[in-house]
Structure 1
Amino acid sequence: MVSRPTVADVAREAGVSVATVDRVVNGRLPVREDTARRVLEAAQRIGFHAVGLIRSRLREQLPEVAVGVLLQRPDEPFYADLARQLQRAIAGSRVFRGVARLDYWVDDDPDDIALRLRRLARRCHAVALVSPDHAAVAAAIAEVVDAGVPVFTLLSDCAPAVRTSYLGIDSRKAGRTAGWLIRQCAPRVGQVAVIVGSRRFHGHELREMGFRSYYREKAPEFMVLDAVVNSESDTATQDAIVQLAERHRDLVGVYLAGGGAAGGVAGLRLIEPERRPAMICPSLQPEVRAALAEGVLTAAICEPIERLAERLVDAVAQALDEQGPRVPNQIVLPMDVFTPENL
């Protein structure tokens, strides 16, 4: 019968004394963080029975950091999923004991967003937010940063001159990728449409710019229609899809650059299959996944929200470390592209 690994085995594996392992396990005296981490990793490798206790001891020594998160529309599946990923990543940080403090804005009111940002910042060590680009929000971001609280913009940038860093995909490349996909999948040359959530979301504006620039440069035989604004509403998106198909008999592609994916899919299903345009969505919520699996939808170009959450935690730790390197101005993540063949 194989005996369980002992304290002496952990010490040997970690290259430290038995007394050091004892201090880490029982929390008797302070131990250098790198040494304690080495002990934990050694214990994990050999299957030491007190790994959970060692991990708890290490966590008790970490500083508590409250990270404020300001998102929009808590009823939207995409933002609900983003909130879960952010909470999980913040709570699971290895360099601080993270506490996520969430708030939401519903109406596209810059003054309300600015007020919520200031209120969150008073209770947090760092703040991340999704927001339209507006002077009132930019002023609040500048005020919060000046007070020593790092501010990170997520998904769509705003106040680039004053915020700490932006995290998300390259929106212009996402727009060009959507243009390329529609060109490959459209049944013929014709008209293509783009639907944005708001004229004030910098990310949506860049996606539309990328989409249009692709067709100007690579496929001028296609006609790009005027953009439609849906306020990220499922109802407005469904109506927009149906109306576009009715008004433009030569519609062959639609790029949904912002929210409202469930409505977009619902609208697409209302169009006769032989006239159904190729369509690209920006998220992989259940309705989108089902439409992709059925071949109703062409593709989804998505923010990698799990990786975004992990990188945010790293960036917060870096921003709060006065001795460490400066946080990059932008942390650009590779986009996720889903088709019916890679779900």
Structure 2
Amino acid sequence: MKRPTIPDLARAAGVSVSTVNRVLNQPELVRSPTRERVLAAAEGIEFYGLGTIENAVKSTQTTHRLGVLLQRGSRAFYLNLGEAITAAACSYGGHKIELTVEYLEDLTPEKVAKHMVSMGERCEVLAIVAPQHPLVADAIDSVLGTGVPVVSLIGPLTAKGNISFVGLDNWKVGRTAAWAFDKMVHEAGKIGVLVGSHRLRNQEMNESGFRSYLREHNTEFSVLEPLPTYESAAVAREHVETLLTNQPDLCGLYISGGGVTGAIAALRAMPKRADFVAVGYELFDDTRAALIDGTLSMIISHPLERFARETIETLMKAKSGGREAGAHQVTFGFDIYTPESV
């Protein structure tokens, strides 16, 4: 077949030949919607000069420098989230986005605060996963003071300035986890709780919602004090081994934060107790396998694609709104997985 010509492209886009020529040679003289329409038509008819049109359209676009600071890249969840946000930025139509995704292995407040300030100097708007701490709050205000909006991911944060939030309704997450124990455990007993850190507000809210549900619906359960894992699989494994050894009436485990792979390893290493329920957080290869083999009873998880889209959308809104704009609050539903649904 004859390859499409410029007149063919003009007809497909519903514009004149001269408009197509201007998109190719003087794109700044053509309105953005028209440029995008010509580009879409070129893709549709497989126009031979598609690359030239793409470059011409991109040359007229403002570059948006977005930054995302996540926790340890060695953890599957954060690596998967980073990849999903990168894909969402690439597919965000009509805009030229320069995305910087960085991971922080040292999660001490001093390191988190310092890295935030560094990224704030390199990006126009910043999304972060961080603990609630005075040093972090001070760093947020420092970044906001330079005119760079800040968006908190997963767990809400507070500072003097306006901070946007994208994530789950963590109160509902906790209550849903408690509902699972209430419905699946036949004889109430003690429930162990793991959190990554007492300063991660999403996990604090998870625990609060968890206890709230059981106070309201089933007071026969005894929820033990939460044990911090410091996002370490080794620490989580040690905690779970101790719980299983020292709490003979332990009927369940709620893994609300980091270290889930260590908790899974501990559960697998000990004789499985009848009527024992374990609820975890976030679906990835290890937790999926634990659901399938019965180590975990249920997983509550962020829907990564939607989370990523909402993150990019909120970063762009925060940037366009400027320093005086109010904070954006975006919450969305979570996914629930059981051994029969994966």
Q: 1:26 offset after TM fit, Å? A: 4.7
Instruction: Determine if the alignment matches structure 1 residue 273 to structure 2 residue 259.
Output: no
Distance 1:300 1:22 in 2: 55
Distance 2:313 2:190 in 1: 43
Tell me which amino acid in the other structure corresponds to 2:29: P
Distance 1:108 1:313 in 2: 24
Distance 2:142 2:297 in 1: 43
Distance 1:276 1:73 in 2: 34
Aligned length: 341
Q: Secondary structure at the match of 1:274?
A: coil
Residue 64 of structure 1 aligns with which residue? 63
Q: 1:112 offset after TM fit, Å? A: 2.1
Gaps of at least 5 residues in structure 2 are none
Gaps of at least 5 residues in structure 1 are none
Map 1:169-180 onto structure 2 (within 5 A): 169-180=168-179
Distance 2:186 2:268 in 1: 17
CA RMSD, Structure 1 to Structure 2 (Å): 2.3
Map 1:93-242 onto structure 2 (within 5 A): 93-159=92-158, 162-242=161-241
Q: Secondary structure at the match of 1:198?
A: coil
Distance 1:185 1:25 in 2: 64
Q: Secondary structure at the match of 2:273?
A: helix
Q: Secondary structure at the match of 1:321?
A: helix
Distance 2:292 2:52 in 1: 45
Distance 2:27 2:225 in 1: 68
Query: What is the TM-score with the length of structure 1 in the denominator?
Result: 0.90
Q: 1:233 offset after TM fit, Å? A: 0.9
Distance 1:27 1:88 in 2: 30
CA-to-partner distance for each residue in 1:291-342, whole Å, 9 max, x for gaps?
Answer: 112222111111223222222211222222259x956531112112121122
Tell me which amino acid in the other structure corresponds to 1:208: E
More deviation, 19-28/292-301: 19-28
Tell me which amino acid in the other structure corresponds to 2:243: L
Query: What is the TM-score with the length of structure 2 in the denominator?
Result: 0.91
Residue 261 of structure 2 aligns with which residue? 262
Q: 1:56 offset after TM fit, Å? A: 3.5
Q: 1:51 offset after TM fit, Å? A: 4.2
Contact 1:261 1:283 in 2 (8 A): no
Distance 2:81 2:162 in 1: 21
Tell me which amino acid in the other structure corresponds to 1:301: I
Q: 1:3 offset after TM fit, Å? A: 5.0
Residue 78 of structure 1 aligns with which residue? 77
Q: Secondary structure at the match of 2:142?
A: helix
Contact 2:27 2:35 in 1 (8 A): no
The structure-2 alpha-carbon separation of the partners of 1:294 and 1:26, relative to structure 1 and needing over 3 Å to count, comes to farther
Q: Secondary structure at the match of 1:231?
A: coil
Q: 1:101 offset after TM fit, Å? A: 2.6
Q: Secondary structure at the match of 1:157?
A: coil
Tell me which amino acid in the other structure corresponds to 2:225: D
Higher relative contact order (CA 8 A, sep 6+): 2
Residue 309 of structure 1 aligns with which residue? 308
Tell me which amino acid in the other structure corresponds to 2:20: V
The structure-2 alpha-carbon separation of the partners of 1:40 and 1:326, relative to structure 1 and needing over 3 Å to count, comes to farther
Distance 2:213 2:234 in 1: 29
Contact 2:300 2:334 in 1 (8 A): yes
The structure-2 alpha-carbon separation of the partners of 1:328 and 1:142, relative to structure 1 and needing over 3 Å to count, comes to closer
More deviation, 20-29/68-77: 20-29
The structure-2 alpha-carbon separation of the partners of 1:27 and 1:250, relative to structure 1 and needing over 3 Å to count, comes to farther
More deviation, 78-87/132-141: 78-87
Residue 247 of structure 2 aligns with which residue? 248
Distance 1:328 1:336 in 2: 26
Give 4+ residue runs of structure 1 displaced > 6 Å after superposition: none
Taking every aligned residue pair, what percent have the same amino acid on both sides? Answer: 35
Q: Secondary structure at the match of 2:61?
A: coil
